[in-house]
Amino acid sequence: MTDLSCPGIRLHPLREQLYEELHSRPFQQIEAPARITHLAVLCSESEREAQFRHLQELCGLLGSEPPEEASSCFYRDFGDLRVRRETHMEFVSYTFTHPNGHASTDAFDETGLSTLPAGWLERLQGQVVGAFHLAVASSEGDAEQQLPEAKRHFEGMRLVGSSPQQGDAQIWTSFRLHSDGYGRFLIYNRRMTPSQLGRMMQRLVEVETYRLLALLGIPLARSIAPNLAEMDAGLASITRRLAGDGKVDEAEILGELTAMAARVEDFRARSTFRFSATHAYHELVLGRLKELREDEVTGHLSLTEFVTRRVTPAVRTCDTLGRRLEDLSRRIDRVSDMMRTRVELSIQDQNRALLASMDRRSKIQLMMQHTVEGLSVAAISYYAVGLLKYIVTALYEAGVPLHKDLTVGVAVPVAALTVWGVTRRIHKHFHALAREERAARGGNRRSS
C-alpha cells in the first residue's frame, strides 16, 4: 500500500479541509428532559465579527477559554448550558441547550436561555428572524393521551402535530409567536436514543429556520407586483401606439422605454438574490420534512402538510414574479429594438432626401461652375491680350517692323485657346484624383 506521506506525491492543499467539511456540523445528542432555544440572526460581515467577539465574551463569563478563530460551527458544553453557533451564507444561528431541564407545570417556564448570563443576549448584534423554544420530555403515552397535556402549553392556539420516525416521538407546535415573542415546539420522546433525538431536533430547527427565511421574499414580491402591473399596461400602450397608423414621437417613446427598462433592472437587482434564496430554502425545508418520516395524528395536520400547504404557494409567488420580471425585460428589449429600427429607417429616409438635395445642389453648382469657367476664360484671355498689347506696343516703338493692330488681333484667339486648354487640363487632373479616391474607398468597403 502506497504511503501518501512519502516524498514525491503531491497532495491538494484543501484535501484535509474537504474531508473535515463533512464533519464540521455534527448532530447533538439530546436526552429528555431538555430545554432548547434556537435563534437565527441575519447579519452583515461587520456584525458577524462583532458577534464572534460577543461569543468570546460569553465564554469568559462562563469560565471557559474563548475560541481564537471563528469557525463554521462552534460548540461548547458549559455543564448546565450548551452553546452551538453556526455561520451560514446570510445568517448566523445560535442553539442554547439546557440539559436535564426541571419539570414544571408549563413546559416553557424554563428555556435554553434560563442559564444564560443576564444581559448577554440583549447585546447580540444583527436582526433576529427566527426565535423559538423546544421542550423535550419523556412520555410513554400515545398521541390521544398527550394532546390534552400539549394544548396547555400553547396559549389556546390551534396545534399542528405528527408522529415522526414511525411513532418513536410526538411533535406539537402552532407555528405562531406566543406571548413571550418566541415560537414553540413540544417534543415527547418515546423510544428514541439521544443521537436520534438530536438528529430529529436539528431537522425541526432547520425546518422552522428555513421556512422563515424562505418567506422573506414575500414582502418584496408584494411590493414589486403592483409596479409590474403598471409597467405591463404601459408597455402594452406603447406597443399599440407603434402598431397604429398615426405618427409617434420616437424620442418620447424611447425615453419611456429607457425609464421602464431602468426600473425593471432595479427590481431585478433587488430581487434576484432574495428569490433565488427563497427557492433554495424551500428545497431544504422539503428535504428536512421528508427526513422526518411523519405519521399523521388523527384530526391534526402534520408538519409536512401544514408547511407545504402554506409555504409552497408563497415560494411559487416569488418564482412567478421572477419570471414576470424576466419576461417584461425581454419584451421591453423587443419593443426597444423595434423602436430603434423605426428610428434607423427614419434616419435613412432623411439621409436619402439629404443626399438627393445635395445631388441637386451639386448639379447647380456644376452648372454655375461651368458658367464661371467660361467667364474666367474670357477674363483671363482679356488680361493676357492686354499684356500682349503692351509688349507689341513696346516693340513697335522700339522700331520692330510689325503691324501693331493685326498682331494684337491674331493674339486674341491664340490666348483664348491657350487659356481654355490649360483649364481643361487642370480639370482632367482633378477628375482623375477624384476617381482614384472613389476606387480606393470601394476597395476598402469590399475588404471590410
Residue 76 CA to residue 67 CA, distance in Å, equals 10
Backbone angles phi, psi at 200, to 5 degrees: -65, -40
Domain final position from 350, 365, 393: 350
Instruction: Judge if 239 and 94 occupy the same domain.
Output: no
Q: What angle do CA 186, 189, 194 make, to 5 degrees?
A: 110
Per the domain annotation, does 422 fall within a domain?
A: no
Q: What is the CATH number of the domain that holds 346?
A: 1.20.58
Same domain, yes or no: 150 and 262:
no
- Report CA-CA distances (Å) from 46 to 52, 53, 60, 270, 293: 10, 11, 22, 21, 40
- Residue 76 CB contacts under 8 Å (≥ 6 apart), including other chains: 59, 64, 82, 83
User: For residue 4, what pLDDT is reported?
Assistant: 62
Which residues does 233 contact at the CB level (< 8 Å), separation at least 6? none
| Among 193, 209, 228, residue at a domain's last position | 193
- My answer on whether 168 and 67 are in the same domain is yes
Query: Hey, what long-range contacts does 357-362 have (CB within 8 A, 24 or more apart)?
Result: none
Q: Distance between CA 238 and CA 257 in Å, rounded?
A: 9
Q: Are 36 and 183 in contact (CB under 8 A)?
A: no
Does residue 155 sit within a domain?
A: yes
- In terms of C-beta density within 10 A (0-12 exposed, 13-18 middle, 19 or more buried), how is residue 107 classed? buried
How far apart (Å, rounded) are the C-alpha atoms in residues 63 and 77? 11
Amino acid identity at 360? R
What is the Cα gyration radius of the chain? 46
How many Cα neighbours within 13 Å face the side chain of 179? Answer: 7
pTM for the full model?
0.75
In a domain, 370, yes or no: no
CB atoms within 10 A of CB 71: 13
Q: Identify whether 363 is part of a domain.
A: no
Distances (CA, A) of 24 to 21, 37, 107, 286, 363: 5, 21, 32, 23, 87
**Does one domain contain both 221 and 189?**
no
How many CB atoms neighbour CB 383 within 10 A? 12
Give pLDDT tens digits along the chain (448 positions): 456 666 667 888 888 888 877 777 888 899 888 999 999 999 999 999 999 999 999 999 999 999 998 888 999 999 899 999 999 999 999 999 998 755 556 788 889 999 999 999 999 999 999 999 999 998 876 666 678 888 889 988 999 988 888 888 999 999 999 999 999 999 999 889 999 999 999 999 999 999 999 999 999 999 999 998 899 898 888 888 887 776 777 778 888 888 989 999 999 999 999 999 999 999 999 999 999 888 887 778 899 999 999 899 999 999 999 999 999 999 998 888 887 777 777 778 778 888 777 777 777 776 766 666 666 777 777 777 777 777 777 777 777 777 777 777 777 787 778 877 777 777 777 667 767 776 776 666 566 5
β-pair partners for 136? 34, 187
* Total tally of structural domains belonging to the chain: 2
Both 24 and 97 in one domain: the answer is yes
pLDDT at 133: 95
Angle between helices 194-214 and 250-292 (to 10 degrees): 160
The Cβ-side half-sphere exposure at 159, using a 13 Å CA radius, reads 27
CA distance readout (Å), 17 to 13, 22, 92: 8, 9, 21
Instruction: Name the strands in the sheet holding 160-163, side by side, starting at the edge strand that comes first in the sequence.
Output: 73-77, 82-87, 91-99, 34-42, 127-138, 183-189, 169-173, 160-163, 294-296
| Domain co-membership, 95 together with 135 | yes
- Is the Cα torsion angle 123, 72, 171, 304 positive or negative in sign? positive
Q: What is the reported pLDDT for 370?
A: 64
Q: Domain limits at 114?
A: 19-193
Q: Is residue 410 part of a domain?
A: no
Is the domain of 26 the same as that of 158? yes
Q: Say yes or no: 271 and 320 in one domain.
A: yes
Q: Which of 141, 161, 193 is the last residue of a domain?
A: 193
Residue 402 lies in a domain: no
pLDDT at residue number 127: 95
3-class state of residue 300 by DSSP: coil
Same domain, 67 and 165: yes
CA distance 84 to 96: 7
Cis status, amide bond into 33, omega within 30 of 0: yes
For residue 2, being part of any structural domain is answered with no
Q: How far is residue 37's CA from residue 173's CA, in Å, rounded to a whole number?
A: 14
Record the cell numbers describing residue 34, joined without a space.
Answer: 431538555
Same domain, 251 and 310: yes
Is 388 a domain residue?
A: no
Residues 251, 139, single domain; the answer is no
Phi, psi of 97 (to 5 degrees): -115, 125
Question: What is the spatial distance between Cα 42 and Cα 51, in angstroms, rounded to a whole number?
Answer: 11
Same domain, residue pair 30 and 157: yes
Contact 91, 213 (CB under 8 A): yes
Q: What pLDDT, on a 0 to 100 scale, did the predictor assign at position 373? A: 65
